[in-house]
């Protein structure tokens, strides 16, 4: 029918369409998250949120763009807030490792007002370290503290498993647009209050129990905001076997019975765990009570040693190693706190 948001050396990672009506724009608004592919020998790709008018799907037209920095927006959602009959529209952008690449000054979650999509603006941002007082970054990366997930004094480590990291992977809104649910990898799902778009505030978190692999990939609430479903992005050991590699310690087995883990498929028959959220507790301005736990993993792939494996068309569905991922790039090793 038509295409949009296609740029050289740039991947369109995620997209969402919302029908909006504001003084600046009325119609179907498309937001897509753009990330730099980092291909050698090419100019850098775009990094941010791209906005298009898709009211006529046969003829989309470009409206605006916001550069989020870092590697770009990995996932993006659209939502609205209505106050006094006036509609404000926002894009929720998950920008992995922004808190690292900015030297701790810009958080991984960026809230963009797109009420006028021709002139998007960032109203606020939130980072696990600078705003949540939590560990953040990548464990074992060779980066200096605190970018290596070193916990603040008196806190227990959060980074765990084969890819120990704390970063925002995705962001989903509540029905009324006043809260955002951030999938913050080894920190679990983090709930933030965005009712004041200029002052994001953390109100809750779903930590992992000891021994879990971590890796919160997505967090999605129900319409009433009483249940939060989270999924974890762990590489399937069944796929490891298909790729000719042995099972690794910490792997979660789904759909297989193995002598070393009898009954594993029965124990893990559910891919996601729904968390009953105490709304009154989560809205309390005091630090969140860490009672909620995300344990069963939705097993998709492992980010161990920063590699991705994808189905190879000529292999009959067999998963083969792909090229090593280069995010975040080597420049991170030169970062120092405050830079």
Task: Give the pLDDT confidence of 268-318 residue by residue, as tens digits.
Answer: 222 222 222 322 222 222 233 333 322 222 222 222 222 233 333 333 333
Of the candidates 228, 231, 255, 230, the one whose C-alpha atom is nearest the C-alpha of residue 241 is 255
Asked if the structure places residue 327 within a domain, the reply is yes
Confidence at residue 239, expressed as pLDDT on a 0 to 100 scale: 52
CB-CB contact of 289 with 281 (8 Å): yes
Place of tokens 């494996």: 309
pLDDT higher than 70, residue 23: yes
Asked if the structure places residue 146 within a domain, the reply is yes
pLDDT higher than 60, residue 145: yes
DSSP 39: -
Average pLDDT over residues 35-63: 96
Sequence-ordered list of residues with C-beta below 8 angstroms from that of 308, at least 6 positions apart, any chain? 301, 322, 325
Other beta carbons within 10 angstroms of residue 328's beta carbon come to 23
Asked if the structure places residue 257 within a domain, the reply is yes
Q: How far is CA 24 from CA 61, 63, 78, 86, 89, in A?
A: 15, 11, 16, 12, 11
| Structural domain total, the chain | 1
Sequence-ordered list of residues with C-beta below 8 angstroms from that of 211, at least 6 positions apart, any chain? none
Asked if the structure places residue 188 within a domain, the reply is yes
Which tens digits make up the pLDDT trace of 154-198? 999 999 988 899 999 999 999 999 999 999 999 999 999 999 999
Asked if the structure places residue 1 within a domain, the reply is no
Confidence at residue 72, expressed as pLDDT on a 0 to 100 scale: 97
Give per-residue burial for 54-69: e unless 16+ CB within 10 Å, then b.
Answer: bbeeeebeebbbbebe
Confidence at residue 244, expressed as pLDDT on a 0 to 100 scale: 59
More confident residue, 18 or 232: 18
Show the domain range for 191: 10-334
Average pLDDT over residues 236-263: 43
CB-CB contact of 139 with 146 (8 Å): no
Asked if the structure places residue 31 within a domain, the reply is yes
Asked if the structure places residue 5 within a domain, the reply is no
More confident residue, 57 or 297: 57
Q: How many residues does the chain have?
A: 339
pLDDT higher than 50, residue 137: yes
**Lowest mean per-residue pLDDT among 35-39, 80-84, 331-335:** 331-335
Asked if the structure places residue 125 within a domain, the reply is yes
- Beta-strand pair 227-232/216-221: antiparallel
Place of tokens 């004094």: 153
- In the structure encoding, which two tokens stand for residue 205, read together? 């978190």
């Amino acid at each position: 029918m038509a295409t949009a948001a296609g740029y050289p050396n740039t991947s369109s990672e995620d997209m969402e369409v919302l029908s909006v009506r504001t003084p600046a724009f009325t119609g179907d608004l498309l937001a897509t998250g753009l990330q730099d592919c980092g291909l050698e020998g090419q100019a850098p790709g775009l990094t941010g949120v791209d906005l298009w008018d898709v009211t006529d799907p046969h003829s989309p037209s470009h409206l605006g763009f916001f550069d989020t920095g870092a590697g770009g927006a990995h996932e993006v959602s659209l939502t609205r807030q209505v106050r006094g009959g006036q509609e404000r529209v926002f894009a929720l952008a998950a920008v992995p490792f922004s808190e690292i690449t900015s030297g701790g000054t810009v958080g991984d979650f960026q809230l963009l007002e797109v009420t006028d999509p021709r002139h998007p603006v960032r109203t606020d941002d939130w980072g696990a370290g600078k705003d949540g007082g939590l560990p953040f970054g990548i464990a074992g990366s060779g980066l200096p503290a605190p970018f290596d997930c070193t916990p603040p004094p008196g806190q227990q480590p959060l980074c765990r498993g084969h890819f120990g990291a704390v970063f925002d992977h995705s962001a989903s809104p509540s029905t009324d647009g006043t809260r955002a649910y951030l999938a913050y990898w080894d920190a679990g799902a983090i709930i933030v209050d965005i009712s004041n778009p200029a002052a994001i505030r953390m109100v809750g978190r779903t930590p992992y129990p000891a021994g879990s692999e971590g890796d919160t990939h997505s967090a999605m609430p129900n319409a009433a905001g009483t249940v939060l479903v989270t999924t974890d992005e762990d590489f399937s050991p069944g796929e490891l076997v298909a790729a000719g590699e042995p099972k690794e310690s910490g792997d979660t087995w789904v759909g297989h019975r193995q002598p070393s883990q009898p009954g594993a498929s029965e124990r893990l028959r559910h891919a996601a765990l729904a968390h009953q959220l105490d709304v009154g507790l989560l809205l309390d301005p005091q630090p969140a009570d860490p009672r909620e736990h995300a344990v069963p993993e939705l097993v998709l792939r492992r980010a161990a040693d920063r590699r991705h494996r994808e189905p190879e068309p000529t292999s009959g569905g067999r998963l083969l190693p792909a090229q090593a991922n280069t995010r975040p790039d080597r420049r991170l090793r030169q970062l120092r706190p405050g830079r």
